[in-house]
Structures are given as structure tokens and as C-alpha cells.
Amino acid sequence: MRRLILALGVSVLLSACTSAVKLDDSKVEDKTGTAVSKTGADGTGAAKTDVKPVDVGDSKKDGMAPNGPRIVYFDYDSYVIKPEFQAVIDANARHIKADKTRKVVIEGHTDERGGREYNLALGQRRSEAVRRALTLLGVPDGQLEAVSFGKEKPVAAGSDESAWSRNRRAEISYR
Amino acid sequence: MTTDRISQHPSFAAPLLPLRRQLLAALIASPSIPALAQFRVEVTGVGLTQLPIAIAPFRGEAQSPQKIAAIVQADLERSGQFRAIDASGAALDETARPDVALWRQKSADSLATGSVTRLADGRFDVRFRLWDVVKGQDLGGQSFVVTQGDLRLVSHRIADFIYEKLTGERGIFSTRIAYVTKTGPRYSLWVADADGENAQSALSSPEPIISPAWSPNGGQLAYVSFESRKPVVYAHDVATGKRRLIANFKGSNSAPAWAPNGRTLAVTLSRDGGSQLFTVDANGGDVRRLSQSSGIDTEPVYSPDGSSIFFVSDRGGAPQIYKMPAAGGDAQRVTFSGNYNISPSLSPDGRWLAYISRVNGAFKLHLMDLNSGTVTALTDTAADESPSFAPNSRLIVYATQQQGREALMTTTLDGKIKARLAGQGGDIREPDWGPFPK
């Protein structure tokens, strides 16, 4: 919407071999008396559509962030902000409000269990919970955007609770 | 009981360790190791009616960069409808009249023979013929002249011809699948042959790519890209690399699904808060909200006739699959057993619903007969994801984990024949099976 950071580095280095399958017009020599049929008039159906590769450039860098924690962790299957993370919300709310030009994206994340799209929706609940908590402290909604990465960007590798608990999070990202 | 077979050499029925199996396959397949090393079809269960077929090595194959007979055989085996009869050592081509009694003795019902010849201009002349050895009847053949790059495609076309002649149904071997790999910090979207080989990169990005979906005409892929560090839906013309934004609203944009007419997509947007279903015009714009729930609504898919949308919602407290009219309206619940049912996929013939169900903490591919409501579990793996039907409704491709690595598998609808698809190195995921070529 607002900022479409489409760093579209289109690399044009593809094999330029778009060759339709051409049919042999001559009949196959056939000692048994039956000719191998040509592949029909629609032989171009075998033509391979080449795939032109697109290369997306590097991600945009972050903007000015406050010192101190910017991550809120969640319990399993929960998007309730636990009391121990209220201080993280408070400090970031002050920092955002101090400069009306600051734009913040809250990124929700889940652990690895379950489907990618459903986890995207679960991560969205976490980011929206943080966004609501910030707006309750007077941060204008226009400075905030809540998005989700689902399970796509874990910070901890591994398939145990210690990794999962670090991956169930919302990150306050200054852009 | 489970037996594993190396498809191009079915006499190796003894259980072998995977690495050893691949080594053996490589030895047998040399010199074309990359093309063949990963062909592997797993057969479970008994009582299958499979057509026994012998595919003789194509004359001239030793000089061909692609081993056509092996590709054809692996295709047919993966379909679950064929059983390969050993034809190694047979010196036959499409002009020869085979000794049908000999092949009957080997309990083959059919036999394919052929040849591949390199022409002076560097192209290859590929010819084949199919025989009914029970009746001693010539079932026809085809010939192609192609560049080296199209030899695999020709092999798949031959498999389609044989499949169609012998089963009466259209084959899917020359269709394409899309999938995503993660290799180190790079994400790539690939377009590959239906056996996972011959992959060509459509998109490469430092940020995740998920949920690729082929347009009904097979020319475009819609997907979710995080390249702007949030989920945004694009449509991508595969041949030209041209991309356009489908949904880039405030918040998250995800789960694209094409309407069968190709003019509309259903997507999940969080722009109004929560994750809710919308439709957007395929050229952008004309956004309409479809669902109104206080919970999560996501993963829409259109029924093949375009009249309804199946989707996932946790409106009842846990994720279940529902269906509603394509223009929005009252939703009916479709899945009832279990408390986590996601990722619906409908067969193109409208008979089947494939989805992922959590059972005792494991995520497993399930299949529902939409007429009877009967549900079958198809796998014994524990992290299945993203099922997608072949255009002839006879196979499902899905992602899973094997030995700690992400892999793509195909399965027949009875779950008895599974094949691991070849693919790039690294983790491989998010398959979507493209339509029949138009």
C-alpha cells in the first residue's frame, strides 16, 4: 500500500531456448507394416514454456530502534500478552510516540507446528495483540502495522519446547 | 508390509538402506546419475490391480543424455496403475515385431519399444510403439524430433500416451508442478516436471515464499512473498517473469486461490483486523469481503465448478474446514473428526477433499470422499503439509518430512503407492500441481 519496496532486480540470464517440439513429418520406417503415427496436428502442445527467473534484491534495512527489548513472547496457542512483557510495550510506546514520523511494523511469529497459512493467521493474532496494547497507551494507529510471518522465520532451530517458546513471539520492528 | 523398489530396476526388491539404495540406483543408471538417482517408488499393501508393462530400453539410449525408458517406467509406476516387468537386455525398437509369447511368459500385458537418434543438427529423433502382448496387437506409436532440453518432456508425453491407451484416462506426466525450496538463507520458487525433475527457477528471494497456486490456464502462479518484509500476494507470469500485485494491503495478505474462470482470486487479508476472506480481481482491485467471523478464516479453495469455496475457520473454537457459496454467505462445516483440520484441496473431478489433520500431535494427510463423508488417512508420516491434486484427480502431491529433511511425495488416493519426488538440494516444500496443458 504505502511503501512498496519492490527491489526487483530482474536478471535476464535465461537460456533462450524456447523450442517447440517439432514433429517429424516423415513416417517411421516400420518392418511390421504399421507406421508410427505423427504426434497429431497439436504437436505444439508438447512445447515447453520456458521459465524466466526473477531475483528479488536484499531486504530493506531497519530504522532507528530504541535500546532495550523489542520482543514479546507468548504461551502455546495463546496471544495474550503476559504481565512480564508490559514493560516492553511501555518502553516502545514511549519511543514511538516521541517521534510522529516513526513507523513500526509488529511481526507475529509462531512455532513450527502446523500448517503455514494457519500459522500465518495465528501469528497475526499475536501482532494485533501487541498493536492493540500499544494503541491503548496512545500510540496513533497510523504509525503501526501488524503483520505475520507465521512459522517462516524461527529464531531458534530445533523441535523441542525450548526452541518453540523462543519462536512464539511478536517483534516490534522499526522501519 | 512395505517393499521398496528402484523403479528402473524392479528386481531389486530387497530392503536396502536409503543411501545404499541410491548408490545402487546411481550405479545402475550411470552415466545419467542426476536424472535417475532419486526415482523411487514405494509400494505398500497388497491386492492392487496393476497393469504389468515392460518398457524395453530405447535403442540408442546409451548415446542419449536422457534414459527415456527409465523416465517412462518411473512415471507409470508412480501412477500406481502399472507394475514394471524387467526388460533389461531386450534389444528392440519401434520397428521390431516382438516375440509376444516371450513377453507373455514374463507376465507382461504390454510392451513399449522405441529408439532415440541424434540428428545431424543436434536434435533428437524419438520414436516408440506400444504393444498389447496378450492379443499380439500393435496399439500405435508416436515420433518426435526435439532438442536435448525437451527429451524429458517427450518421455513424459510417451508415458501419457501409454497411460491413456491402457487406462482410458488422461495422463498427467507432462504437466508441471511448482514448489518452494529453502537453501541457506535463499528461498526459491521452482517450476518442474511432474516428477520433480527439470526444475526451473521462477523466483529467488532472501525472504520466504509460500502458497504458490497455478492459474487455471497454467500460465501464472499466484503466491505469497515476504520480500517487502510482510506477506504480499503476487501473480507471476511464468514465461515472461512479469509480476503484478494482487493484494498488498495494510497487515497480512495471504492464501491466494484462483477461481476456475481465472478472473478472480480469493485471498486472506487482515486489513480490517483478524484474518478474513476476500475476493480480488485478477488484475487488481475490486476487493470484496467474503466472510464475517470473529475468528480466523483462511486457506480458501474454489470448488471445480466455481460455485463454492472451502476454507479453514476456527469459528467453532478449533480449526475446521467449512464451505460456503463463492459469493459469500452461510458456511457449513465439512470436517468433524479431530480438532485441527487445515489446508483443504479439492480434486478437479469434485469427488475428493484432501486435507491435513492433526492426530496425536502428528500432522497427517487425509482424504474425504465428499459423497459419503468417509475419511481415510493416507500416510504414516508426521509432518504432512499442503496437499494438491493432479489434474486427473488420481494422485496427490504433498510436502512432508523424511529423516529430518523436507521432501515432496506423491500418493495414490488409496495411499498404497507413494513416490518421493526429485528436487533441488535443501528443504523442499509447498507443492502445487498445475493444470493440463491448454
What does the pLDDT look like over B251-310, one tens digit per residue?
A: 999 999 999 999 999 999 999 999 999 999 998 889 999 988 989 999 999 999 999 999
Contact B399, B345 (CB under 8 A): no
Expressed as residue numbers, the domain containing A150 is 71-174
Looking at CA atoms only, how far is residue A133 from chain B in angstroms? 14
Cα dist from B72 to B161, B257, B409, whole Å: 10, 32, 18
Is B205 found in the same domain as B95? no
CB contact under 8 A, B239 and A125: no
Is B280 found in the same domain as B131? no
CB contact under 8 A, A105 and B201: no
B356 falls within a domain: yes
Helix (H) or strand (E) holding B366: strand B362-369
- Collect all residues of chain A within an 8 Å Cβ-Cβ radius of residue B211: 116-117
Question: And the C-alpha cell for A156?
Answer: 531458534
Sheet holding B51-55: strands in order across?
Answer: A37-38, B137-146, B124-132, B110-118, B51-55, B82-85
Q: Which of B142, B167, B192 is the last residue of a domain?
A: B167
A140 falls within a domain: yes
Is B124 found in the same domain as B87? yes
CB contact under 8 A, B241 and A10: yes
A27 falls within a domain: no
| Closest by CA position to B365, among listed B350, B353, B373, B374 | B353
Give the C-alpha separation, B226 to B249, whole Å.
13
B278 falls within a domain: yes
A17 falls within a domain: no
| Closest by CA position to B189, among listed B198, B197, B200 | B200
Number of domains observed in the structure of chain A: 1
Is B112 found in the same domain as B206? no
Number of domains observed in the structure of chain B: 2
A57 falls within a domain: no
In the predicted structure, residue B33 carries a pLDDT above the cut 60: no
pLDDT in tens, chain A (175 residues): 344 333 333 332 333 333 333 333 333 333 333 445 544 333 333 445 578 889 887 766 677 777 889 999 999 989 999 999 999 999 999 999 999 999 999 999 999 999 999 999 999 999 999 999 999 999 999 999 999 999 999 999 999 999 999 999 999 999 8
Contacts of B228 (CB under 8 A, 6+ apart): A3, A4, A5, A6, A60, B248
Question: And the C-alpha cell for B23?
Answer: 548408490
- Cβ contacts below 8 Å, chain A against chain B, sum to 222
Contact B344, B308 (CB under 8 A): no
B438 falls within a domain: no
Q: Which of B117, B147, B167 is the last residue of a domain?
A: B167
DSSP A85: G
Expressed as residue numbers, the domain containing B22 is 2-167
Question: And the C-alpha cell for B183?
Answer: 537453501
The partner residues of B247 in beta bridges, in order of sequence, read B233
Is B261 found in the same domain as B162? no
Is B214 found in the same domain as B142? no
